Chain A
Amino acid sequence: MATVTSAAQQPIRALRNWAARPAVATALILLYLAVVLLVLRGLDRRHLWFPTFSTLAFPAFVLSPFIVMSAPISRRLKTILIGGLILIAMPLVGIYDTSYLELAIQICIFTGLALGLNIVVGFAGLLDLGYIAFFAVGAYLWAMFTSQAPTVINISGLLVPAWTFPIFLIIGVGIAAVTGILLGLPVLRLRGDYLAIVTLGFGEMIRVLARNLDQPINFTNGAQGLHNVSPPPIPEIWTSFTSSTANLMGISLANVTPVAQQLLFYFVGVLIVAIVVVVARRLDDSPIGRAWTAIREDEVAAIAMGVPLVKMKLLAFAAGASFAGAIGVLYAAKQTFVSPESFSLIQSISILAMVIVGGLGGIRGVMLGAAVVTLLNLQVLKNMSLQLNALRQMDFVIFGFHVQNWPTQLEPAKYERLVFGLLLIIMMIFRPTGILPEPRRRIELQHDDVVTDEDDVSPAPGPMVGAN
């Protein structure tokens, strides 16, 4: 690396070398995890600054698997630590405070979605701005067949029992994949930027359909949405397991069922994400993945070398969509309420932001991006609002500013667009490859002569000889 080392850098470098030793690294990691868990345990909900503290502590915990992953420790230890964090520590933290469990489920949902979108945008290079539509298809699938709303399915007595949930997860995969192919078929001939706008259009169309298909026959219950959607049944043994775990931790749960249910959703979410990761990895490292890369880098050359463009692009659309379908089913069952407004453009953009922030094309990066952006959106912004309210009620004064005078409409939780927008701009300008760049992406995005067709190259304006 650096050949010239100044005197000031030497201690830093020594420290770094010291920390890179496996034993030291292991100790440091364990220390870090212990501190984070103790802080999470020790936070007091009634404290004035609780929202701020919790915003600092929980992300430190959620991001710890990524820290472990990049630490210079043995592979086996990494697996054990990450497995322990995800399968044991997180559920325990979640039982201690269910709001963390809720966040963890949301992170699973968005990680799955981001990984699915990454297949379309990252692997195949097709910018899909209507990705949320496939999520909506999955969610409406489960909601339509279990909601108590006065839909035609309910009235004709076609509702399904809640235990069919696992079957519907699989049906969701199939239906969403078919939707992906149907939507993809007409648009695949389009060039990148047109494709983006048309997929945006499709996304909006699905939302408008969901809002309006309460007439003439009521399928979706229109703008009111489908309420009283069934969650999957919880086995008795799972409930008792949850309460005994809580007892072991010294917590007596007043109402076990919701916690057990959330815990179940969390594990289903983790399972889905694990499957998605394996599927995405295997697709990427195969002739299919190579064909996608080829299409992304030079469509004309790819088709001339025998890569069937339409088939491969449809496969990308279908694969990406299928994940979203299954996750949609999970989402509907968890929320027990589905309405058209949950599937707007901003959701598609937020998932895109996760893929971009993490690193287009890379699986680990996209997972990190999903965790970061979800936390930012659902925890940081929300807690800023909560903190603001807490301070407002106290009539807190900071630097002579009365927090009470903060405009009520300036509610941080409602400014996701600002955050996503800034994230996208900043990433594109300063680090288009994301926080954890995928190696090939770095080559593709590094210089400006990678572009495929000749129209793409906007030549750097030559020497400017005076204005006009």
Chain B
Amino acid sequence: MASVSRGLAAPSWSLRLPPAVRWVYDYLLYPIGQMLVFIIGAAVVLTLLAYLLAALVPEPRPNIILADQISRQLPGMIISGISIGFVYAMIALGYTLVYGVLKFINFAHSEIFMVGSVVGFEIMRRIADSGTLQQWNPVVLIVTVVLVSMLVSGLLAVLIERIAYRPLRGAPRLVPLISAIGISFFLIDFVRATEAITRNDFNLRYPTDQLPWLTQSVALQFGTTTVNVKPTSFIVVGGAVLTLLALNYFVNGTKLGRGIRAVAQDQTTAALMGINVNFMISLTFFVGGAFGGAAGSLFGMNVGTVTPYVGFIPGIKAFTAAVLGGIGNITGALLGGLTLGLVEAFLNGVLVYFPALGQRYTDIFAFSVLILILIFRPSGLLGERVDEKV
């Protein structure tokens, strides 16, 4: 079974390197290189596909030359694809970690993401209400917002596991799954009720309009074309890369990470080896939830307005990403998220020129991908195939 064991870790060949060099290679160079390979690979493939489409349908609408449009939009599509792709990857990690350890789809994870985005809003809003928002150092502000949402979402995930999943361990599969659906629905309305009581409104606007450095687009020059990029895109990508590096170190470089990997492989043996299985499961939920929370607040800063319903679509897309990469596999979640984000950005960019399709079907697209993978390669891109044992 694909497991959380390897993660982003470098292959353990027996090169004799000094420990410090080895550390830098294992926990910085290798994972960053891997992300770059995924991004460049997916972007190159998609660019080729887009031009292929342009060659097949040169003029989808009168006076619109598809190839020219693609050339003009290419950098923009890639940048937005990467930033949304990292958000998907971070949420996908939550599904994948829990699946790796419990072989269970945490249906409520999309709502943990949503809570992260609402917590991010609450902190920013409260700072703004106290009138000190402009005085904050941008880096400190973002780190604070992200860390607090990680903490809250992580603890929430642990709490959910305690209340709704742990008592059901060992029951037939449907039972915890239905409980998870229940949690998901409950959380949506719980957050809505809380916001209704405290604010009497649940369209939650991040006070980003007070922060020019967060909203004013940066003009980037790519050859002859200029692309306006929102600073939040950089924040999303930067935040995602940093947290992913931290996760890689945690899973592969620490004792606790080793405990999680042991529990993922074999709970009984791990327990016999003196590992506290329940603690490790809680820890997994905390880490997965924290990633959902970080993704939520970064997503919130990016889009500006969140609601209690904001989790569903990114959640299902991130689940698709996790399955695409091979559920249970950390590298797979990253690969799946980036691929899906880029594909979506390309579709959004290209489909507008086809009058019958437009962007209205992009949400269906993720479902179609999910269904196709599950039917033809349920183990995903990086998962191993397994026959059922009889």
- What's the interface size class on B, roughly? 35 or more
User: Is A458 in contact with chain B by the CB < 8 A criterion?
Assistant: yes
Report the stretch among A260-268, A315-323, A414-422 that lies at the interface: A414-422
Contact of B193 among A418, A451, A462 (CB under 8 A): A418
Contact of A428 among B179, B363, B364, B371 (CB under 8 A): B179
State A445–B172 Cα separation when bound (angstroms): 7
User: Is B189 in contact with chain A by the CB < 8 A criterion?
Assistant: yes
Question: Which residue of B has the minimal Cβ distance to A203?
Answer: B367
User: Is A461 in contact with chain B by the CB < 8 A criterion?
Assistant: yes
Q: Which residues from B are CB-within-8-Å of A432? A: 171, 175
User: Is B58 in contact with chain A by the CB < 8 A criterion?
Assistant: no
Question: Which residue of B has the minimal Cβ distance to A199?
Answer: B371
State A444–B172 Cα separation when bound (angstroms): 9
Contact of B178 among A215, A352, A444 (CB under 8 A): A352
Q: Which residues from A are CB-within-8-Å of B102? A: 458
State A254–B167 Cα separation when bound (angstroms): 57
CB distance from A458 to the nearest CB of B (A): 5
- Given known contacts A458-B102, A458-B267, A464 and B277 CB-to-CB distance under 8 angstroms: yes
User: Is B131 in contact with chain A by the CB < 8 A criterion?
Assistant: no
Q: A192 touching B193 by the CB < 8 A rule?
A: no
Contact of A409 among B196, B319, B388 (CB under 8 A): B196
State A464–B321 Cα separation when bound (angstroms): 35
Contact of A455 among B1, B167, B367, B371 (CB under 8 A): B1
Contact of B189 among A190, A196, A415, A444 (CB under 8 A): A415
Q: Which residues from A are CB-within-8-Å of B222? A: none
Q: Which residues from B are CB-within-8-Å of A209? A: 364
Q: A461 touching B374 by the CB < 8 A rule?
A: no
* Chain A residues packing against B (C-beta within 8 Å): 121, 125, 127, 129, 186-187, 189-190, 192-194, 196-198, 200-202, 204-205, 208-209, 211-212, 215-216, 300, 345-346, 349, 352, 356, 407-410, 415-418, 420-425, 428-429, 432, 444-445, 448, 450-451, 453-468
User: Is B316 in contact with chain A by the CB < 8 A criterion?
Assistant: yes
CB distance from A459 to the nearest CB of B (A): 5
Query: Quick one: which of B349-366 are within 8 Å of A by CB?
Result: 355-356, 358, 360-361, 363-364
Which of A189, A216, A418 is the most central at the interface, judged by chain B CB atoms within 10 Å of its CB? A418
Q: Mark B340-355, 1 if CB is under 8 A from A, else 0.
A: 0000000000000001
Q: Mark B364-390, 1 if CB is under 8 A from A, else 0.
A: 100110110011001000000000111
Q: A198 touching B278 by the CB < 8 A rule?
A: no
State A450–B170 Cα separation when bound (angstroms): 9
Q: A467 touching B276 by the CB < 8 A rule?
A: yes
CB distance from B11 to the nearest CB of A (A): 26
- Given known contacts A127-B174, A408-B200, A455-B1, A349 and B185 CB-to-CB distance under 8 angstroms: yes
Contact of A208 among B200, B202, B312, B363 (CB under 8 A): B363
Contact of A417 among B188, B195, B360, B370 (CB under 8 A): B188
Q: Which residues from B are CB-within-8-Å of A208? A: 360-361, 363-364
State A375–B41 Cα separation when bound (angstroms): 55
- Given known contacts A415-B193, A468-B255, A125 and B276 CB-to-CB distance under 8 angstroms: no
State A287–B189 Cα separation when bound (angstroms): 44
Q: A458 touching B164 by the CB < 8 A rule?
A: no
State A197–B378 Cα separation when bound (angstroms): 13
User: Is B145 in contact with chain A by the CB < 8 A criterion?
Assistant: no
State A420–B202 Cα separation when bound (angstroms): 20
Q: Which residues from B are CB-within-8-Å of A356? A: 178
CB distance from A350 to the nearest CB of B (A): 10
Contact of A429 among B164, B187, B255, B319 (CB under 8 A): B164
CB distance from B270 to the nearest CB of A (A): 9
Q: B364 touching A409 by the CB < 8 A rule?
A: no
CB distance from B347 to the nearest CB of A (A): 15
Q: A424 touching B179 by the CB < 8 A rule?
A: yes
State A457–B370 Cα separation when bound (angstroms): 26
CB distance from B147 to the nearest CB of A (A): 24
- Given known contacts A187-B374, A193-B104, A468 and B276 CB-to-CB distance under 8 angstroms: yes
Q: Which residues from B are CB-within-8-Å of A415? A: 189, 192-193
CB distance from B182 to the nearest CB of A (A): 3
Q: B268 touching A423 by the CB < 8 A rule?
A: no
Q: Which residues from A are CB-within-8-Å of B271? A: 459, 461-464
Q: Which residues from A are CB-within-8-Å of B184? A: 421
Contact of A468 among B175, B279, B364 (CB under 8 A): B279
Q: B185 touching A428 by the CB < 8 A rule?
A: no
State A208–B313 Cα separation when bound (angstroms): 13
Q: Which residues from B are CB-within-8-Å of A461? A: 267, 271, 277-278
Q: B389 touching A418 by the CB < 8 A rule?
A: no
